[in-house]
Amino acid sequence: MPTRRRFALLVCAALAACSTAASLESRPLHAGVSRAFAADFESVSAAVDVAMETLPVNIIAPVEVAGARVARFDRPVTPTGWGESGRVVIAPVDARTTRVTVAVDPRDPAQPRERTESGYAAEIFRKVNVVLWTGHAGVAEVTSTDADTR
């Protein structure tokens, strides 16, 4: 019986590892939790970089896709969770407004709230706001929308 348990654990671990940053590629760039910030694209991109550096994740090099900047991240398996893969899309709306969209694929649907899509989004948006407010007087958060179109 212990052999069956070990085998079951190995199968679960292998299946959990299937959720990767690549699995997010099937989702549209606008899928996830979005928020628009009243700041130019470069300022928001820099603020997102600062916010992501404070998270307990591995950051994968950002790429440009369809006029947007896409930064991927991965949180490995730890004793407290199976980890998750995610992405942050920074897209200009106009010269003074930039939308940030956070999408996360957890490897375990029963993740703690702070490790869900909405948890990561709330943390990133809060930190982006802090960076923008301290770096640029008068910059404010404009809108907030939750749009998950999986």
Mean pLDDT of 88-101: 96
> Is the four-CA dihedral 66, 91, 118, 116 of positive or negative sign?
positive
Q: What is residue 41's predicted lDDT score, i.e. its pLDDT?
A: 96
> Which is higher by pLDDT, 133 or 91?
91
- Residue 105: pLDDT band with limits 50, 70, 90: confident
pLDDT in tens, 4-53: 555 444 444 444 444 444 567 788 888 899 999 999 999 999 999 999 99
Per-residue model confidence as pLDDT tens digits over 42-83: 999 999 999 999 888 999 988 999 899 999 999 887 777 777
**For the chain, what are the domain ranges?**
2-147
- What pLDDT score does 101 carry? 97
Structure tokens at 54: 């404070």
Place of tokens 């199968």: 11
Model confidence band, residue 2 (pLDDT cutoffs 50, 70, 90): low
For residue 144, pLDDT beyond 60: no
Residue 135 has pLDDT above 60, yes or no: yes
**Rounded-to-integer distance, Cα 78 and Cα 66, Å:** 34
- State residue 25's pLDDT score: 76
pLDDT for the residue numbered 28: 83
Where are the alpha helices (H) located in 17-150, listed in sequence order?
41-53, 117-135
Letter for the amino acid at 22?
A
Whole-prediction pTM value? Answer: 0.73
Closest-CA residue to 150 (of 52, 24, 39, 1): 24
Q: Which CATH superfamily is domain 2-147 in?
A: Kinase associated domain 1, KA1 (3.30.310.80)
Cα-based distances in Å from 23 to 17, 116, 150: 11, 16, 12
